[in-house]
Amino acid sequence: MDRYQILIWGDRTIRFSNIWQKVKSMKVTAIFLLTFLSFQVFSQSLVVEHRIKKVENNLMPFVPIKDFLGWNILERMEYYGVPGVSIAVIKDYKIDWAKAYGVSDTTLQTPVTTETMFSAGSISKFVMAVAALKLVEDGKIGLESPINNYLRSWKIKDNEFTKSQPISLRMLLSQSAGTSQTSYFGFTPTEPLPSIVEILEGEKISGTRPVVVNSVPDKEFRYSGGGSMIAQMALMDVSEQGFADLTDRLIFEKLVMENSTFAQPLPEKFEKQASWAYSKASWFKGMPYIYPQQAAAGLYSTPTDLAKFFIDVQNSYLGKGKILSQRMAVAMLTPQKEVSQGSYREQIGIGPFLIQRSDNNDNPDGIYFEFTGVNAGFLAYGIGSLTGGNGVIIMLNSGDNVNGLGKEIRRSVAKVYGWTNFLPDEIQPVSLSDNELQNFVGRYRMGPDEVLYLRQEKNYLVEKINEGNDIYCFPIAKDTIVFSDYNIKGWFQFDDKGNAISLQNFYQQKPMPKMKKDEFSPSEYLKFKNYAQAKEGYREMEMNEYRMTYLAYDLMNKKPLDLEAVRTILDLALEQHPNSSIVYSRWGDFFLLKDDIPNAVINYKKALELDPTDEQTLEVLKNLLK
């Protein structure tokens, strides 16, 4: 046989040599394409990695400062005491990257991953709104019809407000129905859980008051978790499904959000994925809470899953979404009510909040839809651009400081990705000498028990009010600084020798005098354990019983515990409010802390004598007398 193999195919004669040449050519082409594609993927991954590094190292205060070196994300996590963070960034209607930091459990040192689930708080309301609008499109419920037409398990009670204007689903979703119950607290795992009807009725097991209409419907924005619960009840009634099953069917399955659920308590299959919860709040019980108020606060999810949700909303606005039509998405993202006006204009749509810089003038490229979630031990932030396909989801396992780390990360993403008209204009600071900056350093009296502390750090100043968070201040003139948390200017006044003697910001009627070295506030005296001077200072303030007993409560939950400081406040409270039941209740708490049960019982009984309706004190007393 000759070296050219012959293949007979019907009436065609093909030489194997030709085929072999073609195969070799195809192999070379395939290798080239694979090499090229691999290079492309590698190059793209380098670009994304570069963006990640820039985001991680450009955290910033509210006001961008020219030449200010951004903070590092790990350093800021440590600064705020946040154990774990998870982020998903949206670019061009796709998830550009997702990354996790820190630990989900500080005891077990379990690392946070992109599949770690966090409590999403009030972002639940936004997700619920999309589910509701989908049922509107399916003809199951009306957007403008009276919601009582669809409620079967429970009804809104008619009153003077509802007779002239019945409540609609649109009002409930846009927080303008005039309903009560701003927010909900969760339950610890050992507490019995109320049903949705018990929550709406305000039954004792719910720990909250009944949900009612107590202001004019559709008049103004009025945030109401209770309104979200009414909407949830209506959706469950018309669909004849549990809320978790309904949202699974309408949203999570369609968007392949496999790590998201409204089920409360959290199902067993998700328990290992769920982060623990952390907070320094005195009332926090040190564990993740359960939220049977599902539509208001019950969602568990990941930034990656929520990014899919936000992207679908953006795509729906373009007519390319998987859940809502373009018509419905546009309606959802159309302002319904004004929320606030300042350097930013905040409005609310039929579900999400809408924000833009006040000078954006409704340019769609500079409008953003968002929702923030705050639950016990958790914070969550979700934001997306109306056009352009940008956004970020950030979730933290710390419930402290809603304006802290999460907002700093969001601003860093906005800067790195060049979001249109999102950040305030950059401030150009001036350079002052150390002597000039040191002249400003000191303590300024804001009020009887409120002190503004200024210290120097590098070439700028840092403000702290009492025991609050640091606020970075930058000089823009010889006598003027900018507070970078809200872009507010403050100016100093000087004596004849050039010494700074006071500080005043734009909103203050009079300046804050610089305090003398031997001048202290009542709180400072307490810190120095000068209890007599502290009591005298508080006596002059003439605080009401609630403010005074809250101060005592806060001191009882502060570490390290200073019992003498608590006693100082309660002594004064009893002196100034001798017939207050809450004062005696706090005395009972004080003696309970000291394991002095007899005196605790005496004071709890006195509290109930003055106020027999105090169920919380009654419950504590019953447990002590068992």
Nearest CA to 588 out of 622, 542, 547 is that of 622
Backbone angles phi, psi at 103, to 5 degrees: -125, 150
Q: What pTM was computed for the model?
A: 0.86
E-assigned strand segments in 245-377: 300-301, 337-341, 344-348, 353-357, 368-375
Q: What is the pLDDT of residues 189-248, one digit of tens each?
A: 999 999 999 999 999 999 899 999 999 999 999 999 999 999 999 999 999 999 999 999
Buried b (16+ CB within 10 A) or exposed e, 330-357: bbbbebbbebeeeebbbbbbbbbbbbbb
348 close to 122: Cβ distance less than 8 angstroms = no
Q: What is the pLDDT of residue 326?
A: 98
Q: What is the pLDDT of residue 481?
A: 96
Q: What is the pLDDT of residues 501-535, one digit of tens each?
A: 999 998 899 999 999 999 999 999 999 999 999 99
Helix, strand, coil shares of the chain as percentages rounded to 5? 40, 20, 40
Question: What is the three-class DSSP state of 305?
Answer: helix
Nearest CA to 422 out of 363, 379, 371, 335 is that of 363
Backbone angles phi, psi at 92, to 5 degrees: 55, 40
> What is the rounded distance in angstroms from the CA atom of residue 273 to the CA atom of residue 291?
18
Q: What is the pLDDT of residue 518?
A: 94
Nearest CA to 391 out of 304, 327, 331, 323 is that of 304
Q: What is the pLDDT of residues 559-606, one digit of tens each?
A: 889 999 999 999 999 999 999 999 999 999 999 999 999 999 999 999
| Low-confidence residues of the chain: pLDDT under 70 | 1-44
Which residues face 347 on adjacent strands?
Answer: 338, 354
Q: What is the pLDDT of residue 39?
A: 54
> What is the rounded distance in angstroms from the CA atom of residue 99 to the CA atom of residue 413?
13
**In this structure, what token pair is assigned to residue 32?**
């080239």
